[in-house]
Structure 1
C-alpha cells in the first residue's frame, strides 16, 4: 500500500526524466540508492526524515525504475548522474540540498558535492567510503584483483550483456541471492567457499551466493517482490551500465584527482561489509579527505544494506547529523 503522505513525481532533467518519491516539508534531503536497488531502499528513512522536519526525496537513479533509461552506455557516466541530481533539486524549486547516498549512490553523492558544491551543501555516505579520484585506470586495477581462476565482480560486469544473461532469466531468485550474500545474517562464511565478490572464470556470480535458502531478516517477501517487479520490467542493463563507465569517470574527473570534500559530511558503514573493510585505509584518511566530517560510524554486526538492515540506528544517526548540519540539534 502506498504511504498516504508520500508523493510520486516525474521531473524533467536534461537527460530525460527522473522518478522520485517525496515526503515532508523543510530543508531538502536527496536520497540516492545503489545497485541493484530503487527509491524503495529508503522506505524506512522517508517517514522518519519527514517527521524530523525535512523534505525527504528518494530518486530512482537513471536506468532504474520509472526514470529514463538511455541506450548509450556512456549516458551513465558520473557527470550525467551528478547533472541529474542537480536538475532534480532545481525541478523541486530548491536552491540547495543535503545529498545522502548508499553504495554507488555514495559515489554519486560524493561527486555531486565535489562538482556542485553550491547546490549540495552537505553529504552523507553509506557503506562505500569516500576515496578521492586517483591511482591507475580502474579496469586495470580491478583486473589485477582477480586470478587465473576467477575475476573481480566489477570486471565481470564490464561486458554488455554478460551479467544480464545470468540475471534476467530469474530476476527474483538472483536478487534474493545477491541481497543475502551481502547481508550480515545470511552472508556465506569462509567455510562455504570463495567470496561472492569473485566470479569463477566462465562461471556465474550466483555460483558464489550462499548455499542456504531463506531471505535476510530485513527483507520480506513483499520487499523482494517490489524489487523483482521493477527489474523484470526494466531489465538490468541501465543499472549495470554504471559499472561500465568507471574508466570514463576516471578520465572525466581528472581535475578532481585527490580532491577533498569540504562540506559537512557523515559516514555509516557495516563491520561485516566488504566495502567498509576493504577500504579501511580510505576511512583512516578521512581527516584529509573529508575535513568537514561531522561523524563516522561502523555498525557492529551489519552488512552492506545498512539503511535496511539497521534502519532504526541509521535513522537516528541521520537525524542527529542533519540536526547538527542545520543547527536544529
Structure 2
C-alpha cells in the first residue's frame, strides 16, 4: 500500500530549524518515510526509533548531530507514522527490519553507517550489528539489551518476565489492537507517560504522537512484537564494533543488570548509567547526546561511567 500525507504535521516540518527534509524511499520492498539532514558526503548516522515512537523521537539529537558534521538519516520504521505498513506478522521479523536498514544505508550510496537505536529500534540495531557486521561502523544503544541477554534473562528471571508482561499480551489476537485504539488511544498515551519521568512528554508532543499513530494504525506496531517472537536469533552473539550503551536506571520494563551483561557481549563496549532517568533517557539527560557525539567522533576510552 502507498502512504499519503493526510497528516503533514508528522513529517520533517515538525522541526523546521534543522534543515530537515522528508523523502520516501523504496527499501526491501516497502516504502519508508525518511527524514534526513546534513552534508550528503559527511559520515552517516542512522537513528532507529522504538515503540510507540516515530522519527520525531530523535528530536533532541538531530540538530546536535548535524551541527557536529554528520549526515543523519531517520526512518519511520515499517508500520509507523508515514511509512508503509505491510500485512502479516512475518513482515515484522527482525530479518526484515534489518534488511530495511541495509537498503536504507545503500540508498545513501554507502556501504556502512553509524547506527543508533532506542527501545525496539535498539533490537534492530543490535541485530544489524550481529547479522550484517560490515554495515555498522559504530553502534549506540539506548535502553534495550543485547538480544541474547534479553532472551537468557527471560528464561531465568521471574522479575524480568513480570516486567515484560506486555510482550506476552501483544501475542494475543485482536485484543491488544482493540484495547490500544479505544478512548482516543488513551492507553498509547499512558505507555508514554508511565514509562517516562514527569514532564518528558508535554501535551503538544503527545498530540503529535497521536497524529503519527493514526497514520498507520496500531496493528503493525503490535506485529513488531509478534514478529520478534517469531524471529530466528542471530548466528553470532559477540558485537565487534565499538559500542556505547546508555541506560536510564529507572526503566520500569527492563532490569538494569541487563545493561552490564549487554556490554559484556561487546568486544569494545562502554556503559553509561543514568540514575533517576527513565526508559526515555535520551530525552531526559543532555549528557546522552554528549556521550553519543563523543562516541561517534572518537574511540571508546573507558568501560563504565555513572552520571
Structure 2 partner of 1:241: 223
Structure 2 partner of 1:3: 16
Of the three residues 316, 323, 326, the one matched with 2:290 is 316
Shift of 1:151: 8.5
Structure 2 partner of 1:12: 26
2:229 is equivalent to residue 253 of structure 1: no
Of the three residues 202, 212, 216, the one matched with 1:220 is 202
2:234, 2:15 → 1: CA distance? 43
Shift of 1:245: 1.8
1:287, 1:65 → 2: CA distance? 32
Structure 2 partner of 1:159: 172
Structure 1 partner of 2:69: 53
1:151, 1:318 → 2: CA distance? 27
Structure 1 partner of 2:281: 306
2:184, 2:66 → 1: CA distance? 32
Structure 2 partner of 1:212: none
Cα deviation 1:248-277 (Å, max 9, x = unaligned): 21xx22633xx110101000011111345x
Secondary structure of the residue aligned to 1:114 is: helix
Secondary structure of the residue aligned to 2:32 is: strand
What TM-score, normalized to structure 1? 0.79
Cα deviation 1:130-153 (Å, max 9, x = unaligned): 2427867979999x935xxx9811
2:29, 2:157 → 1: CA distance? 30
2:117, 2:246 → 1: CA distance? 10
2:188 is equivalent to residue 175 of structure 1: yes
Conserved 8 A contact 1:128-1:275: no
Secondary structure of the residue aligned to 2:240 is: coil
1:10, 1:243 → 2: CA distance? 25
Relative to structure 1, the CA distance from residue 254 to residue 298 in structure 2 (aligned partners, 3 Å threshold; closer, same or farther) is closer
Relative to structure 1, the CA distance from residue 132 to residue 119 in structure 2 (aligned partners, 3 Å threshold; closer, same or farther) is same
1:233, 1:287 → 2: CA distance? 36
Larger radius of gyration: 1
Conserved 8 A contact 2:129-2:241: yes
Relative to structure 1, the CA distance from residue 322 to residue 234 in structure 2 (aligned partners, 3 Å threshold; closer, same or farther) is same
Conserved 8 A contact 1:261-1:289: yes
Relative to structure 1, the CA distance from residue 287 to residue 104 in structure 2 (aligned partners, 3 Å threshold; closer, same or farther) is closer
What TM-score, normalized to structure 2? 0.85
Structure 1 partner of 2:211: 229
Structure 2 partner of 1:77: 93
Conserved 8 A contact 1:129-1:279: no
Relative to structure 1, the CA distance from residue 171 to residue 232 in structure 2 (aligned partners, 3 Å threshold; closer, same or farther) is farther
RMSD (Å) for aligned C-alpha atoms: 2.7
Shift of 1:14: 1.9
Shift of 1:129: 2.2
Q: Structure 1 unaligned runs (5+)? A: 185-215
Conserved 8 A contact 2:245-2:263: no
2:58 is equivalent to residue 42 of structure 1: yes
